[in-house]
Structure 1
């Protein structure tokens, strides 16, 4: 049982602190008895005082639970009154035990002696009450904090799912549009192959948890399915180069992280050039980071989609940025031109692997 689980179990946590607290009280007084050189019989007095103190303060827990919702002024008055009554009672019993055990039953005639040092007992009980309320408030704050963290985590997961699922209709629209064009051009065989590949890609996509990260090798498999669809469309005009290190293949990445980048390259580089083009995908590890790069030889940042040299604001680019911001505190996303022409996207994320 970890510490947080123990705190959450309020009844068990109370009893542990209650017993440990009064045992500590007995231990401190026992050590103090060596200084004053008391007789061995004083040990029984110490044990008796701690036991009676524990028994008298225990009912305060139920009293404080009933008055918990009182106004602050009334609550403070109740705590002081209850601590005073219990402290005085405990002080009197301690004095009685002292004469019974240490003086061997020789009790004084003056009954006021029993009330000596009861103020110290009141302070100890008041400290017990303060600790009870302090721990109680701490538990409440921890519970509220846990609720806030849970709510924030649920909201973050909902946003990630929304961003992840946003890619499917966006990609689906573009592909169906291409299939529609093929049908209009009476290229039915090609359209049929694209529908078959599209079905395979969507099946793979829907079986992937949008929250969990996947190994890069699995992401490459998904990209390969997508590129098979596009190769049917562009044939020899589309060429893809892969440069992925062995370590990078095992690294975890958000699912379909690179697909929007390749889709952009196809739309604004391959489709824009009659002779087609090349898309290069590379991945490698560097220190504690995973470095990803998608590069094409199209018009680059000068085309209208990238807003004349500023970072892209398309659906795919915006989606990737928001997903990275939600998933990683330390990351980078950079768009840059390639000489003599082309666009390069560099992504740096923390290096993570699947637990063994």
Structure 2
């Protein structure tokens, strides 16, 4: 099947090709001159070396050099034709140029030696000339194809670089959008938390508990200062996240005192696991709001973590649990002030997990022992640590 090579239109490629052509001319004909001198002139005339032999060899190579210049435009014109026609034109051109070079060589040799019977050996002389120009043609076509392949390879690298830059820009844009979304969701928690806490302060003031309200305001400022110093996008260690939850629960203890108890079940081996910041605070807030606040005798909030195995081996996961002891069914109206729900907390947690982990997470709720149990499963991001994990069980009165 006919095949047409790609066109070479780039000026830089043409200039590069010009340089390669003259390098080819210099190296190829200089090499032919040396080989001819060593294999024919010097060896054949080793006994009696005529004085005209070196000059004759140099003259023949000079004529061949000039004749090869005529081949180049023929080759370049035929280069754009189908391969079958191109091969035919190349062979015809080489045959004609080799014939001309043979005639010049024989005529020059006859004039120098006077051997007029040399024409009977035309076939042998022509065969040598044809071999030389076929060799030169192979070099020329090989260099030309090499330049084209090099140019195409460079174009492919440029296209790949453009695609890579586009991909980097797209990934950067996606990262910026994802970061903006995470910041929006993360900062959404502060007004939500502040709304509920101010309602609690309002309830304390209404019941003339000024001291407790003042303590809650002080701890509220500490918690907000802590939350504002954290990067809303970067993950924190589980230990830092637990400390942030405890800081929030200290605010609520101002209101509920001994009615609020907290139990922690956090293995020491998992304290450095990376989790999204402020992930557990909305869950603890819901437990306080819908369990502790509605129960006259208060209750317990349990916060735990453990490592679990996923469906695929070698893919450990982290499970976080927030469980409350529930509320009394016969006292649904207790502490009614401040119980209006904005519906932000759990939805915010789910949206942040979806943004960070795509579909590689789970969040579930279930009733357990009269209370609500919330489970979060996400990839375990844990730095290399030694074995021998122990579980820390802590009760906060």
Q: Shared fold by TM > 0.5?
A: yes
What secondary structure sits across from 1:206 in the alignment? helix
Are 2:217 and 1:195 aligned? yes
2:320 to 292, 296, 299: 292
1:318 to 335, 347, 350: 347
- The answer for the alignment partner of 1:235 in structure 2 is 257
Are 2:153 and 1:131 aligned? yes
Change (3 A) 1:295 1:108: same
Offset at 1:96?
Answer: 3.6
Offset at 1:313?
Answer: 9.7
What secondary structure sits across from 1:336 in the alignment? strand
TM-score (norm 1): 0.69
Contact 2:8 2:14 in 1 (8 A): no
Change (3 A) 1:129 1:227: same
Change (3 A) 1:344 1:191: same
Paired residue total: 270
Q: Which moved more, 1:256-265 or 1:215-224?
A: 215-224
TM-score (norm 2): 0.62
Distance 1:243 1:229 in 2: 21
What secondary structure sits across from 2:286 in the alignment? helix
Contact 1:86 1:122 in 2 (8 A): no
Cα RMSD (Å): 2.8
Q: Which moved more, 1:84-93 or 1:113-122?
A: 84-93
Distance 1:319 1:338 in 2: 23
Q: Which moved more, 1:238-247 or 1:168-177?
A: 238-247
- The answer for the alignment partner of 1:100 in structure 2 is 30
Q: Which moved more, 1:212-221 or 1:189-198?
A: 212-221
1:240-292 CA-to-partner distances (Å, cap 9, x unmatched) read: 21111111222121111100001111111122223322211111223522211
Change (3 A) 1:250 1:84: closer
Are 2:356 and 1:327 aligned? yes
What is the correspondence of 1:168-187 to structure 2 with a 5 Å cutoff?
168-187=190-209
Distance 1:336 1:200 in 2: 33
- The answer for the alignment partner of 1:119 in structure 2 is 141
- The answer for the alignment partner of 2:366 in structure 1 is 336
Distance 2:246 2:306 in 1: 19
Greater C-alpha radius of gyration: 2
Change (3 A) 1:130 1:230: same
Offset at 1:93?
Answer: 4.1
Change (3 A) 1:190 1:143: same
Offset at 1:208?
Answer: 1.4
Distance 2:180 2:371 in 1: 35
Are 2:259 and 1:252 aligned? no
Contact 1:87 1:119 in 2 (8 A): no
Contact 2:292 2:327 in 1 (8 A): no
What is the correspondence of 1:1-356 to structure 2 with a 5 Å cutoff?
78-79=9-10, 83=13, 87=17, 90-91=20-21, 93-104=23-34, 106=58, 107-110=61-64, 111-114=66-69, 115=71, 116-117=136-137, 118-287=140-309, 288-298=316-326, 314-329=343-358, 330-339=360-369, 341-353=370-382
Distance 2:357 2:220 in 1: 31
- The answer for the alignment partner of 1:43 in structure 2 is none
Offset at 1:162?
Answer: 1.1
Offset at 1:135?
Answer: 0.9
Distance 2:211 2:14 in 1: 93
Contact 2:182 2:355 in 1 (8 A): yes
Contact 1:87 1:123 in 2 (8 A): no
